[in-house]
Structure 1
Amino acid sequence: MEFNPVTLPLQGLVFGLLSLPVCLWIIWTDLREMKIKNAAVLALLAIFAVAGFFLLPLDEYLWRYAHFAVVLVIGFLMHVGTGLGAGDAKLAAAMAPFVPLSDATMVGLLYIAWVLSLLVAMTIARRLPALRTAAPGWIWLEEGRGHIPLGVGLAPTLSSYFFIAAAGGI
């Protein structure tokens, strides 16, 4: 299967470079605290608000805010109905404006790949005594935790998408 994102290489490069530090911060805090900070979500939105204004045609730029609203509503319904973390819902909503609707399937497949990989890696890592010693107090390592922090899958999905777009597809 080929991934040929609609997002142009320049858009992917600029969005990718600007959002990478935020995505790394999200991964770090979600691993350590199982929380996605509101400041990180707002930082992603600010990156889109400023860079998107210059990188996208105005009509498309404005339309992408509808993506944010729709994903935010769906995310909060999932939070109430399924227990999806509120931070994960907000992060998904903040990611939505970056992705044109035509690339949503590709981003969904990237997310599945990241989550499955991380599920295996984190299940193995959770059993390593050396990691427990090296990272005391990291909530996801606690006994009895049956789930992984989803922000750890969402953040690299966004970064991967941008860098695939910057490379012109794969």
Structure 2
Amino acid sequence: MAIPAAAAQWFLPFVLPICFYVAFTDLREMKIKNQAVVALAVVYVVIGLVVFPPWSGDWPSGMIGPFPVALPVYVWQLMHLFVVLLIGIILNAAGAVGAGDAKFSAAAAPFIWTADFRLLLAVLMATLLAAFAAHRIAKFTPLRRIAPDWKSWDAGKAFPMGLTLGGCLAIYLILGAFFGS
């Protein structure tokens, strides 16, 4: 994995509760709360400064459009937020994803290393299948009585993607903590 193990270990204790909260509120209310999205972004902004101080270390170079640019790792990772937010806005306008899903994905983007994108997609697909199966099993069995008032039970074809997105970010960081570079 490209994510540094130390970075994943720093982020994990702060991000994990937010991921659980996002999964829970999306199951209960079919909404990803803005305060969770803001909290996730703030975790990267604050803890990221400790993990990747911009004033120390090498500044890797990359391209922004046709222009070569050298920026600190902290800034490169933070730029993921804006790129994913733009993509999420477009997908939301097209009706492909919910607004909360787009915002959460954008806030989660700085934690993801570009080189880990294939692994992330595999984790996302596995998490989506597991979350969908678990949700449907609980929905159509007596397990539903544990939380009878959750809106996700009666949402028709809609699915609480916060369960998947929160789980995916948590699993990615856990994997990064153990197998990161």
TM-score, reference length from structure 1: 0.90
Q: 1:57 to 1:100 in 2, by over 3 A?
A: farther
Say which SS state the counterpart of residue 32 (structure 2) adopts.
coil
1:158 is aligned with what amino acid? L
Bigger proportion of residues as helix? 1
In 2: Cα distance, 1:120 partner to 1:156 partner: 14
1:84 is the counterpart of 2:97:
yes
Residue 43 of structure 2 is aligned with which of 39, 47, 61?
47
In 1: Cα distance, 2:117 partner to 2:82 partner: 15
Residue 15 of structure 1 is aligned with which of 11, 27, 40?
11
Q: Percent identity?
A: 36
Question: 1:13, CA displacement in angstroms?
Answer: 1.0
Question: 1:123, CA displacement in angstroms?
Answer: 1.5
Q: Following TM superposition, where does structure 1 have runs of at least 4 consecutive aligned residues deviating by more than 4 angstroms? A: none
Say which SS state the counterpart of residue 94 (structure 2) adopts.
helix
In 2: Cα distance, 1:83 partner to 1:164 partner: 29
1:35 is aligned with what amino acid? K
1:106: which partner in 2? Answer: 119
Gaps of 5+ in 1: none
1:157: which partner in 2? Answer: 168
Alignment of 1:65-84 (within 5 A): 65-84=78-97
In 2: Cα distance, 1:134 partner to 1:157 partner: 24
Question: 1:97, CA displacement in angstroms?
Answer: 0.6
Bigger Rg over Cα? 2
In 2: Cα distance, 1:141 partner to 1:43 partner: 27
1:134 is the counterpart of 2:130:
no
Gaps of 5+ in 2: 55-71
In 2: Cα distance, 1:124 partner to 1:26 partner: 20
Residue 23 of structure 2 is aligned with which of 17, 23, 27?
27
1:167 is aligned with what amino acid? F
Bigger proportion of residues as strand? 2
Alignment RMSD (CA, Å): 1.3
2:147 is aligned with what amino acid? A
In 1: Cα distance, 2:2 partner to 2:89 partner: 28
1:147 is the counterpart of 2:158:
yes
In 2: Cα distance, 1:151 partner to 1:108 partner: 16
Say which SS state the counterpart of residue 167 (structure 1) adopts.
helix
In 1: Cα distance, 2:179 partner to 2:137 partner: 34
Say which SS state the counterpart of residue 27 (structure 2) adopts.
helix
In 2: Cα distance, 1:98 partner to 1:63 partner: 11
1:111 is aligned with what amino acid? L
> 1:101-133 deviations in whole A, cap 9, x for unaligned?
1112211211110001111121121111x3333
